[in-house]
Amino acid sequence: MIDMSECAPRAEVETCLAELHRALTAHGVGALPMRDSAGRACLEVRDPAGRTRRVHVYPQFFWFTWGSLPDERHSVFRPGEAAALIARVVQGPGWPDRSQDDLAPTLDRYLH
């Protein structure tokens, strides 16, 4: 069985996250580079109310994701647009008051 991190070089994921980080910073949104409990690189983005979302990269699908809903993902080829979408939520109503869903279990069946 192939792990998602084995499918894509770590540098590719981290490069995408670095580009998104720069774009978020340009929108005045702070993001903390980190690793989640599964060891995946991500950005943690906090809204003014203190709610956080972790933005992950799924290079197999060319997505940034920050939840499991269709409007919680965007193309890695357009980090500026992804940052604008995230900034609109963070600087507007804030993250939804619910736990963040992870797409990994859903997408995993397509990766093997």
Tell me the pTM. Answer: 0.82
Burial 58-96 (b: 16+ CB within 10 A, else e): beeeebbbbbeeeebbbebebbeebbbbbbebbeeeebe
Please report the pLDDT score of residue 8 as a whole number.
Answer: 47
For 29-56, how does the pLDDT look when each residue is reduced to its tens digit (9 = 90+)? 999 999 998 888 999 999 999 999 999 9
Residue 101 CB: number of other CB atoms within 10 A? Answer: 14
pLDDT at 111 over 70: no
pLDDT at 93 over 60: yes
CB neighbour list of residue 20: distance below 8 Å, 6 or more residues apart: 31, 43, 55, 64, 79, 82, 83
Residue 23 CB: number of other CB atoms within 10 A? Answer: 20
For 5-35, how does the pLDDT look when each residue is reduced to its tens digit (9 = 90+)? 444 456 689 999 999 999 999 999 999 999 9
Please report the pLDDT score of residue 38 as a whole number.
Answer: 85
Chain centroid to Cα 84, Å, comes to 13
